[in-house]
Amino acid sequence: MSNVYDFTVKDRSGNKVSLADYKGKVLLIVNTATGCGFTPHYDPLEAMYKEMKDQGFEILDFPCNQFADQAPGSDEEIHEFCTLKFGTEFPQFAKIDVNGETADPLFAYLATKKPFEGFGKGLKMAALTKFANANNKKFGDKAYIKWNFTKFLVDREGNVIARFEPTVDMAEVKKAVQAAL
């Protein structure tokens, strides 16, 4: 695969969606969960979406239940939670796996283009590293994503240009999105 436009994913209804439909837009592709300590990231994500969508920005939300079972609901339950609690309007796709033998090919691709480099510094990093290492042992070399709310920034040509772990301040993510626009 040469870029993200080569991939097809499923929407919440199970319909195939070509990422080529997003050609020419800056994308932030995120694996999410509704019961995670990082779930409040939905607020700044939605704020960024509202502020920048008219400039050619899209957030693609992929719920995942592989991290401590923090996204246990159905696709519709997850969508309802996000729209009611956080007012999300950006596209939300079908729940997927991001690690292991059943990992969605898009996330395996994203993670090979921008591999994990650590959670940063501080208390969040120390705590999250412990949980992530325990959780990801079962995936071995196919532990592509280390935790919920990992974000990949994709430029208008479909190239992966940045990876943000959930511990990265959302202001830094916003700054990178603005630069890509």
**Which domains can be identified in the chain, with CATH numbers?**
4-180 (3.40.30.10)
Asked if 94 contacts 75 with a C-beta cutoff of 8 angstroms, the reply is yes
What integer is the mean pLDDT of 153-166? Answer: 97
- 64 part of the active site: no
pTM of the model: 0.92
Q: Using the predicted structure, report yes or no on whether residue 129 has a pLDDT greater than 70.
A: yes
What does the pLDDT look like over 8-64, one tens digit per residue? 999 999 999 999 999 999 999 999 999 888 889 999 999 999 999 999 999 999 999
End-to-end CA distance of the chain: 24
In whole angstroms, what is the distance from residue 69 CA to residue 39 CA? 13
Asked if 99 contacts 136 with a C-beta cutoff of 8 angstroms, the reply is yes
pLDDT for 123 equals 66
What does the pLDDT look like over 134-157, one tens digit per residue? 777 778 778 889 999 999 999 999
Candidates 4, 29, 36, 98; catalytic one: 36
